[in-house]
Amino acid sequence: MKNSAYTAIPVDEKGYVPYSKEDGETWKHLFNWQQPLAQQHACTSYLTGMKTLGLSEDGPAQLPEVNSVLLAKTGWQLEPVDALINFKRFFGLLAEQKFPAATFMRRPDQLEYLPEPDLFHEVMGHCPILCNPEFSTFTHWIGKLGVQCNHEQQVALARIYWFTIEFGLIREDGNTKIFGGGILSSPKEITHSLDLSLVSHQPFDIETILRTRYRIDTPQPNYFVMDSTEQLLGIQDKKLLTRIDNAISDLKSAVI
């Protein structure tokens, strides 16, 4: 784990975590804050996935219970990990359709914003979208490509992951909707991400994304908006590695 303020909570032999009463209250508060905003602003795939998973205010959710539905419906499962893991482990897990999941709950003084992924982020941000075959196939594809990449290439590939699975927006019926789990697990970022007086929305463009650095410790100033999930399919191409290498080269020459 790198620079985490939290300690990983080990699961017991059945995969359960003994959460405190305070953790339960934090989950419930976040769920009831997040859900009305998500119902209004999340994309259709997220809302369908929420129904499939049957997640509720009673929590924190336990990984074996989420996995019992997720695995049967999608072939994916949550794998308990420390809050922050390295790229090698991250892409390796995705390649096996194991979604890395930090098991701790954020502290009550960090309800609004948390730079690290906690259980609410993993379950409420990512799992509903994983129920959609287009998004889950894309996530699996990124993992399989990531394990073949060197570290520099992984850094560039992580930008694609960041601006889609974590912080992606998508157009639906003329409206801008959210599918990124980093946004959907943060009620404040849901409204922040759609407020064009605070942030910019750019057309989804893979070449730009590969050259866009990001920060993990502050709400995003910039989001990319897909026209449809067809654009995820467009990325899944053998030429992506060449595009990644070109972007690495461009960024290096820009620094020089």
Q: Which is nearer to Fe ion, 113 or 246 (CB)?
A: 113
State the angle between helix axes of 133-146 and 87-95 in degrees (0 to 180), rounded to the nearest 10. Answer: 130
Prior bond of 60 cis (ω within 30°): yes
3 conformational bin, left if phi > 0, alpha if psi -120 to 50, beta if neither? left
**To the nearest whole angstrom, how small is the minimum distance from the Cβ of residue 16 to Fe ion?**
22
23, HSE (Cβ side, Cα atoms, 13 Å)? 16
Return the number of the residue (59 or 117) whose C-beta is nearest Fe ion: 117
Which residues contribute to the site for Fe ion (CB under 5 A)?
117, 181
Q: By Cβ distance, which residue is nearest to Fe ion? A: 117
> Which residue, 114 or 241, is less far from Fe ion as judged by CB?
114
Whether 22 sits among the annotated catalytic residues: the reply is: no
| Separation between Cα atoms, residue 85 and residue 181, nearest integer Å | 17
Instruction: Tell me if residue 121 is catalytic.
Output: yes
Q: How far is the CB of 249 from Fe ion (least distance, A)?
A: 28
Take residue 238 and report the two structure tokens written for it. 């053998």
Is 228 noted as a catalytic residue in this protein?
Answer: no
Marked catalytic residue, from 41, 79, 116, 126: 126
The least distance separating Fe ion from the CB of residue 89, rounded to whole angstroms, comes to: 14
Exactly one of 121, 136, 140, 186 is catalytic; which is it?
121
Nearer to Fe ion, 80 or 181 (CB): 181
Closest CA to 53 of 74, 36, 70, 75: 70
| Identified catalytic residue from 41, 166, 186, 189 | 166
Establish whether 201 is a catalytic residue.
no
If you compute the radius of gyration of the chain from its CA atoms, what whole number of angstroms results?
17
Select which of 45, 185, 186, 193 is catalytic.
185
Region for residue 238 given its phi and psi (left: phi exceeds 0; alpha: psi -120 to 50; beta: otherwise): alpha
Q: How far is the CB of 238 from Fe ion (least distance, A)?
A: 27
By annotation, the residues acting in catalysis are: 121, 126, 166, 185
